[in-house]
Amino acid sequence: MTTNYTIGEHSITLSTPRSMALRWEIFGLGAHNTLRASAAALAACWTGPGKPKSDLGRCQWNTGRWAAAIIDELLGRGVPLDAIAAVGALAFNLVATDLLTEEDVTSTGNGSGEEAPSIG
């Protein structure tokens, strides 16, 4: 699923990330800090020009640190915090959509030979 939004000076497309592991990490972050979860979702879903350069690997694969780096980067570019939060919340909804449940994982990972469910 893709959707277009404007953030700062960029018209961007939000696309659901393919990595289920990253999506679950961002979803879990939402239980502790919604702003950071929104920022992480924004960066994970952002396609096109202006995508934040902050790298998850450089943040030791810690999504909370990565999200803070994204917020700092975007604020440094003059993007208002409310825009980061608003578009990030929409990205978070994309991340949270169609997450595999424990039942999905169990039923497809039990050697039944069934194909894993489509993520979209």
pLDDT digits (tens, 9 = 90+) for 73-82: 999 999 999 9
Q: 């440094």: which residue's tokens?
A: 76
pLDDT confidence tier of residue 119, bands split at 50, 70 and 90:
low
Tokens matching residue 70: 């994204």
Which 3 state secondary structure label does DSSP give 47? Answer: strand
pLDDT at 2: 62
Calculate what percentage of the chain has a pLDDT beyond 90: 60
Count up the domains in the chain and report the number: 1
Within-domain flag for 39: yes
Range of the domain at 66: 2-99
Within-domain flag for 108: no
What are the beta bridge partners of residue 40?
none
Within-domain flag for 95: yes
Average pLDDT (7-22) is: 89
Tokens matching residue 47: 């396609």
Tokens matching residue 58: 């450089």
Is the pLDDT confidence value at 42 over 60? yes
Q: What is the pTM of this model?
A: 0.80
Question: Judging by beta carbons within 10 Å of its beta carbon (0-12, 13-18, 19+), is residue 5 exposed, middle or buried?
Answer: middle
Q: How far apart are CA 48 and CA 6, in angstroms?
A: 12
Ramachandran sector of residue 53 (left: φ over 0; alpha: ψ -120 to 50; beta: rest): alpha
pLDDT confidence tier of residue 64, bands split at 50, 70 and 90:
very high
Within-domain flag for 118: no
CB 99 within 8 A of CB 20: yes
